Chains A and B, each alone.
Chain A
Amino acid sequence: MIRITGATLPDGTRSDIFVANGRIAPPGTPTTSIDADGLIALPGLVDLHTHLREPGFEQSETVLSGSRAAASGGFTAVHAMANTMPVQDTAGVVEQVQSLGDRHGYVTVRPIGAVTVGLAGEQLAEIAAMARSRAAVRIFSDDGACVHDALLMRRALEYVKTFDGVVAQHSQDPRLTHDAQMNEGVLSGELGLAGWPAVAEESIIARDVLLAQHVGARLHVCHVSTAGSVDVIRWAKARGVNVTAEVTPHHLLLTEQLAAGYDSRFKVNPPLRRDDDVAALRAGLADGTIDIVATDHAPHPVEAKECAWDEAAFGMVGLESALSVVQAAVVDTGHLNWADVARVFSAKPAQIGRLDGYANPFAVGSPANFTLYDPAASTVFGIEHLHGKGVNSPYLGRTLPGRVVTTIHNGYPTVSDGLLVDADIVAATAEATHG
């Protein structure tokens, strides 16, 4: 039995936490003790939007390296996006990804299934097979590409409903964003970079919420990035549409001005937007219009970023920095308290993904998934804070608040005293836990 002493829970109360047999336990006699004085105990973070790249792009990330990055950021579960090679569009591939996650043991890996075969946007993938596989897929997404055909999107929403699933839409009109490089506005005009207009996101969201209402299905909107999108989603929720939405940490903190030096670390899709958009996203997260934070962790090899802006890959790594960035963007600014963070970064994403065990994270009997976080820490974020394969972080050299001290996944530590527990130990413990 592990005893965590003096942790501050998300609601502000101080409490000891007891862990035994992988679960939160009633007070007992501990064999080990962890001093959590001054630390916040947050429920294990759940990322609904992670690119683990395996199979197929192991030079960018593997399930193991991405799991380590996640654990170091305080995550205990991640949802692995479908744009692997082969694509996660069959039961075999999603089961493979899930079993890799189980074997490594740092986090629970929940594969996301493709909506269409090969993410090509032409024909529905075998959604039922994925939903009924051992991986029990509940989230389906062509992320990286938009399901832009309106009829296909309608059918996907209807079909996925059969399995209590949800379509997570990457909202981007492909025609309006042909060759787009950055937010369309004054700055893109000056820099001579093709613009990615806000309307290309907002028009798809508007269409999709109406479709979701029409067929009575659940819709999840990935990486909302504009003020207009927040307005559309707010309007949809007021109409009773069953829609949820996510925002990334980087869209809560960074703006398009960072593109001015053509440093491709700041190239991401959807692009960084204006100050007004950042303000609207923060307000939307605070008032519940936006339900969750998700990282869109997108690792790339160095050569994919060491080039001219329009030749560079889209994407940023984000698992390791996510909690610190959320603290900087919405906690320290007064938009969210820690109970809100627990909701938007754990309970609610778990609910959307139909992931059990996160509803009452510190209740006796719940699976022990939590992280101990020191919000008073402050560090200059560097390469040494990155634990995946990607170093394409927009925060390198920036001072960020907070530090993940300990992460407990299914009752065993994956991060201890700020250091990742050795992979062999974690894998062995995970195997013993799974029985």
Chain B
Amino acid sequence: MRHLLSTRDLDRDTAVGILDVAADMADVATREVKKLPTLRGKTVVNLFFEDSTRTRVSFEVAAKRLSADVINFSAKGSSISKGESLKDTAQTLAAMGADAVVIRHGSSGAPRVLADSGWIDAGIVNAGDGTHEHPTQALLDAFTMRRRLHGNAARGKDLNGLRVTIVGDVLHSRVARSNVWLLGALGASVRIVAPATLLPMGIEEWPVEVGYDLDEAMDAGPDVVMMLRIQAERMSAAFFPTAREYSRQWGLDDERAARLPAGSIVMHPGPMNRGLEISAGAADSARSVVLEQVANGVSIRMAVLYLLLSGTGEVGA
């Protein structure tokens, strides 16, 4: 694997391969010494043009567990400056000898521009770009689902037959896009539920079923319910009238959560707006795997960095 820019680039076998490596990495976390020497001497740069402490720390822990040197490079502009240009930053990192660049950027496609630019010859990992993709989030979500579905016998398996319902602001969600493509490749069936204002144009061409009614979707008894974060500024742009109306129609409240089948799980990419898209009861219930998602995030990011930098090239292209 040269870069990880989009889950669209992952076929079933490549995706399963990443999940299998992540399972090995998860085993490391259970040892007394949680560190492998694999990437000693390699330099991983966390290049964050947007604040995201959670994602940055997850990549940082992952790289350190593999013994890589980690540099955190915050390139965010202030209120008076526009911030450094992608080109200048990339060339600076290239001059410093970065082997991999983990990039978070507010612009859709920025990791792709970096990978195609010729400004830097490092492996590029997309850690979230605009409203485009967030591939490691989708991989950690799939990893979490696979563990719940297959337990310890998960190795080599995909998500064939799993029914996943994704609820909320798909229009602005990079998490949703990455999940839709990856879950499709892994054989899961995906249902999207949201008001029409929060669905992208052309979603009828996506490999998903689309509905507007959350209650109907809950009654269908999905294996996984994934709630997406709602951002307050969407209200001012008339995507929906009030937080209260949104919450009533498309929030996972206690009553809706209780109607789910016994084995169903509830996911959220975080950070959660408790009381808006998800109630505290649903977020803290036994169905919720939110903290597992966080733990699995480290394993997935270890796997991705390992596959990018170890040079084995045994998984993917």
Using A192-B131, A310-B130 as known contacts, say yes or no to A262 and B112 having CB atoms under 8 A apart: yes
Q: Is the CB of A191 within 8 A of B202?
A: no
Cα-based distance from A190 to B109 in the complex (angstroms): 11
Q: Is the CB of B107 within 8 A of A310?
A: yes
- The reply on B108 being an interface residue by CB < 8 A is yes
Contacts of A293-322 to chain B: CB distance below 8 A: 303, 306-311
Interface hits, A247-298 → B, CB 8 Å = 261-264
Which B101-158 residues have C-beta < 8 A from chain A?
105, 107-110, 112-113, 116-117, 129-133
Residues A191 and B132 in contact, CB atoms below 8 Å apart: yes
Q: Are A186 and B201 CB-contacts (below 8 A) given A192-B131, A192-B174, A303-B85?
A: yes
Asked whether, in the complex, the Cβ of B201 is within 8 Å of the Cβ of A184, the reply is yes
Give residues of chain A (180-224) contacting chain B, Cβ–Cβ below 8 Å.
181, 184-195, 197
Chain B residues near A181: list those with CB within 8 A: 108
Q: Which of A187, A189, A303, A308 contacts B109 (CB 8 A)?
A: A308
User: Contact between B200 and A261 (Cβ–Cβ < 8 Å)?
Assistant: no
Assess the B116–A261 pair: CB atoms within 8 A: yes
Is B177 in contact with chain A by the CB < 8 A criterion? yes
What are the residues of chain A within 8 A of B131 when measuring CB–CB? 192-194
Q: Bound state CA distance, A48 and B133, in angstroms? A: 41
Instruction: Sort chain A's interface into a size bin.
Output: 20 to 34
Contact A190 B201 (CB under 8 A): no
**A309/B202 in contact, CB under 8 A:** no
Task: Name which residue of chain A comes closest to B204, CB basis.
Answer: A186
Contacting residues, chain B, for A184 (C-beta < 8 A): 201
Residues of B within 8 A of A310 (CB): 107-108, 130
- CB-CB under 8 A from B248, the residues of chain A are none
Contacting residues, chain A, for B130 (C-beta < 8 A): 192-193, 310
B177 and A190 form a contact (CB under 8 A)? yes
Q: Give the distance in Å from the alpha carbon of A307 to the alpha carbon of B85 in the complex.
A: 7
With A187-B202, A192-B130, A192-B131: A309-B177 Cβ-Cβ less than 8 Å: no
Tell me which of A189, A263, A307, A308 contacts B202 (CB under 8 A).
A189
Residue B258 lies at the interface, judged by CB distance under 8 Å to chain A:
no
Q: Which residues of the other chain, A, contact B86 by a CB distance below 8 angstroms?
A: 307-308, 311
Taking the complex as formed, is B32 at the interface, i.e. its CB lies under 8 A from any CB of chain A?
no
A306 pairs with B87, CB closer than 8 A: yes
Complexed CA–CA distance, A185 and B112 (Å):
21
Contacts of B315 in A (CB 8 A): none
Asked whether any CB of chain A lies closer than 8 Å to the CB of B203, the reply is yes
Is the CB of B205 closer than 8 A to any CB of chain A?
Answer: yes
CB distance from B179 to the nearest CB of A (A): 13
Interchain CB contact under 8 A, B201 and A309:
no
A187 and B8 alpha carbons, distance in the complex (Å): 13
A263 to B112, CA, bound (A): 9
B172-195 vs A, CB cutoff 8 Å, 1 = contact: the mask equals 001001000000000000000000
Distance (Å) between the CB of A194 and the closest chain B CB?
8
A264 CB contacts on chain B under 8 angstroms: 113
Question: Is the pair A188, B201 in contact by a Cβ cutoff of 8 Å?
Answer: yes
Closest chain B residue to A262, Cβ basis = B109
A359-411 residues at the B interface, CB under 8 angstroms: none
CA distance A36 to B56 in the complex (A): 66
Take A262-B113, A309-B113 as given contacts and tell me if A193 and B108 are in contact as well, using a CB distance cutoff of 8 Å. yes
Which B residues are CB-close (under 8 A) to A263? 113, 116
User: Could you say which residues of chain A place their CB within 8 Å of the CB of B205?
Assistant: 186
B185 to chain A, nearest CB (A): 15
What's the nearest-Cβ distance from chain A to residue B266, in Å? 25
Most chain-B Cβ atoms within 10 A of its Cβ — which of A194, A195, A262, A309? A262
Q: Report the Cα distance A261→B5, complex, angstroms.
A: 12
Bound Cα distance A194, B172 (Å): 9
Minimum Cβ distance to chain B for residue A208 (Å) = 25
Q: Residue of B at shortest CB range from A302?
A: B87
Instruction: State in angstroms the CA–CA spacing of A287 and B112 once bound together.
Output: 41
Using Cβ atoms and an 8 Å threshold, which residues of chain A touch B85? 303, 306-307
**Distance of A340 Cα from B207 Cα, bound (Å):** 45
Hey, which chain A residues are within 8 Å of B200, CB to CB?
A: 188-190
Asked if A309 and B87 make an inter-chain contact with CB atoms under 8 angstroms apart, the answer reads: no
Min Cβ gap B252→A in Å is: 24
Given contacts A192-B177, A262-B113, A303-B85, contact A311 B203 (CB under 8 A): no
Cβ A192 vs Cβ B132 within 8 A: yes
A303: nearest residue on chain B (CB-CB)?
A: B85
Q: List, in ascending order, chain B residues with CB within 8 A of A309's CB.
A: 107-110, 113
> What is the minimal beta-carbon distance from A228 to any residue of chain B, in angstroms?
15
> Interface 1/0s, chain B 64-98, versus A by CB < 8 A?
00000000000000000000011100000000000
Highest count of chain B CB atoms <10 Å: which of A184, A185, A197, A308: A308
Q: Which residues of A contact B203 (CB under 8 A)?
A: 189
Chain B 194-233: CB-based contact to A (< 8 A → 1; otherwise 0): 0000001111011000000000000000000000000000
Q: A181 — nearest CB in chain B belongs to which residue?
A: B108
* Chain A residues in 8 Å Cβ range of B206: 189-190
Residue positions of B touching A, CB distance < 8 A: 85-87, 105, 107-110, 112-113, 116-117, 129-133, 171, 174, 177, 200-203, 205-206
Instruction: Please report A residues at the B interface, Cβ cutoff 8 Å.
Output: 181, 184-195, 197, 261-264, 303, 306-311
Interface pairs (8), CB distance under 8 Å? A185-B201, A186-B201, A188-B200, A189-B202, A190-B206, A192-B108, A193-B109, A195-B201
Additional A-B contact list (16), CB under 8 Å, known A192-B109, A262-B108, A308-B86: A181-B108, A185-B201, A188-B201, A189-B201, A190-B200, A191-B108, A192-B108, A193-B132, A195-B201, A197-B201, A262-B109, A262-B112, A263-B113, A308-B107, A308-B113, A310-B130
Complex A-B, nearest 5 residue pairs according to Cβ-Cβ distance, in ascending order: A186-B202, A189-B200, A262-B109, A192-B132, A308-B107
